[in-house]
Amino acid sequence: MEMSKAALETAIRNEILSKISSLLSKDYDTDVLSVSASELTIPMLDAKGNETYALIKVSIPRGTRNGEGGYTPYDGYKAAEDYKYELEEKAAKKAASEEKKAIAEKLKAQKREARQVKKAIQKLEKASAE
């Protein structure tokens, strides 16, 4: 009997979850808990010894609806490329923001220095007038 697309995807997801579970259990020597059909969680300790949990989700994306009753298939390579572009864009915006802040700080320092020079000139003019 031929398996449906959903059954094939479920089989892949379950295989991946099983491998992840085995790896995490072995590497972290801790319980790996199933919290849903597609999620695992493991208890962890942070640097200060506080207990927290890591949640791992595995999904087999179908893609996006195409408006014709079907899906435009998910492309992992395209998604990775888009994410890389998004990160580069964020980094560029952050660099521009940092540069803008540095220029503003420089300008502020120059204005402060100009005020001090102006005060010094005023003191000298006042002293010479007396």
Residue 69 domain flag: no
Judge if 48 and 103 occupy the same domain: no
Residue 18: C-alpha distances to residues 33, 35, 55, 85 (Å) = 11, 13, 15, 32
Terminal CA-CA length for the chain? 109
Q: Give me the pLDDT at residue 81, please.
A: 96
Count of structural domains within the chain:
2
Residue 67 domain flag: no
The amino acid sitting at 104 is A
Condensed to tens digits (0 to 9), the pLDDT of residues 65-97 reads 888 888 889 999 999 999 999 999 999 999 999
Condensed to tens digits (0 to 9), the pLDDT of residues 12-68 reads 999 999 999 999 999 999 999 999 999 999 999 999 999 999 999 999 998 888 888
Query: pTM of the prediction?
Result: 0.65
Judge if 116 and 86 occupy the same domain: yes
Residue 70 domain flag: no
Domain extent, residue 9, equals: 1-60
Judge if 86 and 44 occupy the same domain: no
Taking alpha carbons only, the member of 32, 40, 46 closest to residue 14 is 40
Judge if 48 and 82 occupy the same domain: no
